Every structure is written in structure tokens, then in C-alpha cells.
Amino acid sequence: MKKKIRAIQYGVGPIGAAIVRLMREKQSIEIIGAIDSDPAKAGQDLGDLLGASDAPWGVPVTNDAASMLGESADVVIHSTSTLLPNVMDQLMACLAAEACVVSTCEELSYPWRKYPELAAKLDAEAKTWGVALIGTGINPGFVMDKLLITLSAASQNIESARAVRIVDASKRRLPLQKKVGAGMSVEEFRAQVAAGAIKHHGLPESVAMVSDALGLAVDEITETIEPVVARERVQTPYLEVAAGQVAGVHQIAHGYAGSKEKIYMELQMFVGATEPADTVEITGNPNLSLTIPGGTHGDIATASVVVNCIPAILDAPAGLRTSRDLPMCFLPPDANP
């Protein structure tokens, strides 16, 4: 048996905590430490911080990233922020520590279009140190892009592509219900959208990834954010939405090649959604569609995709990778490293 994969968790918010719990179930992974900027978390044992029944784990949480990254990890699981510019320094530090990186940073999932210079910088740094990094998760990273791209292998010719994800936010944690605007008035929702506070990030990244993979030559990506207004009262374990209030968010991204729409992606995330599902469609020869009835649970599945991706990123050529490039698969709990 080879040595275990030495992993550092960077960012111990709700998603980071879910990732840590899942990594603990994998015999091939050893969590050697965690980094979090919150002074209230630093200094605790990671197991204690998560309220694990088998705590303490003897795994330190620190806010001193540099010193933790000096512990020669094989991989850093990075989950601190959505926006790529905000995490550039963190990612560069991980790479310089010669660690591969799997990040949930949505804008890292396919950064070449929005941040060509940052993407080139990360790619070069990763190659300098002989490691690979990837931004992934369930969306962006899987249901609206990787699944569509995988399905496209059965295509002879492709005209256009479409992905629709409908999420019942009732079953998600309170911060997410608030993040989609549940319970707000329509005016308040629009103000929050204008302020950039209500927005799922990642649709343009998925559109760009799919366009490049399928050769759809998208040269313009637009995005709209509208409220889903509750027609009747919705009660969740955490909050109540009255009829006429906002139940959640309805986001649409279009990818155009010239004046032609080539890619359509739609995300509905609201409390009380009765038919949650992930659906992708390819128009071409043949027409193909694929549905995951009930859809995939964002938090659970993001932790899954991230942890399951660890062997593939360790095995990948050095540089900036995306879920487009890598074969994706479950990591069995008892797999050898």
C-alpha cells in the first residue's frame, strides 16, 4: 500500500466542513491540517470545530496559511470564495508549496474568458512547480457542463446545447435560502441583485466550457437574474415565504455565436420547487437529452465532486485543468492511495 494522500483543507465554512467530513471517510486520504482566516476557528482541533463524535482528531486549524502550507501536502482543498481575484494569492501560495489544488471557487472552473491573465498566471505557476489545479463542484463543474460534455460523445453533429437546473431550496441550509432571496419583496430582491448580493456564479463559466468543448464558437455570453415569485405560501424549516414574496432566483445565461443562440442555461433555485431536476439537451444528430430526476443536492454533491476529483488532479499533467479535461469518478472509501 502506498502512502496516504496528504490533504490540507483551506476554508472551513459549510462547504469546507462537508468536504472534510467526506475526506475522513476515505482511507486513501489523510487530513494533515486546515486553514481558516476566522480567528475564532484558528487554534481549535478540526474534529472539535466540526463537532465530530470522534473528536479530537489531532488535526490543527490555523490562520497561518504559510506555515500550514509548509507541511508538504499533496493536495489542498480550497473553499474560501466565489470570485477568482479574491483568491489568487491563496491559490498561488498553494502552488508554490508544490501542492495540487481542488477549489470550489466558481470563477476558477473555466477562467480563460473572464480572466485570461489570471488563468495564464495560475497555469504558468502550476507548471513551474509541477502540480495541477482545478476549480470544480456540482455547478459549475458537473451538472451543467461536464455531464453535457460527456453526453456529447454520443453525438455525430451538434447544433446547440441546453442545460436546466431546478433546485428546491426548501431542502437547503438557511444561508442558501436567504442567498436566493427567499422571503424578500420583489423590490428588495431587485436591489440585492443590483448590489451583486444575489447571484449564482458559474453559468458563464459553464457556457464557455461547453462552447469550447463542443465547438459552438460562442462569442457573447449574456446573463439575466429574475425573481421567482411565490404563488402561495411556502414554509421551510427555517423561514416562511408569503404569496407574492420572492421564493428564489431564476437565472438564465445565453451563449451566442454571432446572432445565433447556441447555448442556453437556466437555473431556478427557489423554496417550494415541486419538480427539481437537472436536465441537459443536445440538438443535433442525434438529438439527445439526459435528466437526473430530483436533481443533485448542491452541498452534498459539491463535496462529492471535489473529494472524488482528488486522484484525478494528482494524476493530471501540471497546469490549470478543468472538469472538461479530467475523467470523473467516485473515489471508493477503501481505495488504496
Q: By CB under 8 A, name the binding residues for a second copy.
A: 22, 25, 138, 142-143, 146-147, 149-158, 213-215, 285-286, 288-294, 296-297, 300-301, 303-305, 308-309, 324-330, 332-335
Smallest gap, in angstroms, from Cβ of residue 230 to a second copy?
Answer: 26
Q: Which is nearer to a second copy, 81 or 211 (CB)?
A: 211
Q: Which is nearer to a second copy, 22 or 49 (CB)?
A: 22
Query: Going along 85-137, which residue ranges are E strands?
Result: 100-103, 132-135
Q: Which is nearer to a second copy, 251 or 304 (CB)?
A: 304
- How far, in Å, are 91, 178, 316 from residue 231 at the CA level? 44, 18, 49
Q: Are 13 and 20 in contact (CB under 8 A)?
A: no
Q: Which is nearer to a second copy, 170 or 308 (CB)?
A: 308
Q: Which is nearer to a second copy, 65 or 331 (CB)?
A: 331
Smallest gap, in angstroms, from Cβ of residue 249 to a second copy?
Answer: 22
Q: Which is nearer to a second copy, 62 or 155 (CB)?
A: 155
Smallest gap, in angstroms, from Cβ of residue 16 to a second copy?
Answer: 15
| Nearest CA-CA partner of 41 in 73, 21, 71, 17 | 17
Smallest gap, in angstroms, from Cβ of residue 143 to a second copy?
Answer: 8
Q: Which residues contact 254 (CB under 8 A, 6 or more apart)?
A: 207, 221, 222, 223, 261, 263, 264
Smallest gap, in angstroms, from Cβ of residue 4 to a second copy?
Answer: 16
With b meaning 16 or more CB within 10 Å and e meaning fewer, what string describes 285-318?
A: eeebebeeeebbbbbebbbbbbbbbbbbbeebeb
Smallest gap, in angstroms, from Cβ of residue 105 to a second copy?
Answer: 18
Q: Which is nearer to a second copy, 46 or 213 (CB)?
A: 213
Distance CA 145, CA 211 (A): 10
- How far, in Å, are 85, 236, 305 from residue 90 at the CA level? 10, 36, 21
Smallest gap, in angstroms, from Cβ of residue 208 to a second copy?
Answer: 15
Q: Which residues contact 195 (CB under 8 A, 6 or more apart)?
A: none
Count of beta carbons in the 10 Å neighbourhood of residue 117: 9
| Nearest CA-CA partner of 312 in 302, 303, 301, 324 | 324
Q: Are 276 and 167 in contact (CB under 8 A)?
A: yes
Q: Which is nearer to a second copy, 39 or 215 (CB)?
A: 215
| Nearest CA-CA partner of 21 in 45, 62, 52, 44 | 52
Q: Which is nearer to a second copy, 152 or 268 (CB)?
A: 152
Question: What cell does 114 get?
Answer: 473572464
Smallest gap, in angstroms, from Cβ of residue 96 to a second copy?
Answer: 27
Helix (H) or strand (E) holding 176: helix 174-179
Smallest gap, in angstroms, from Cβ of residue 150 to a second copy?
Answer: 5
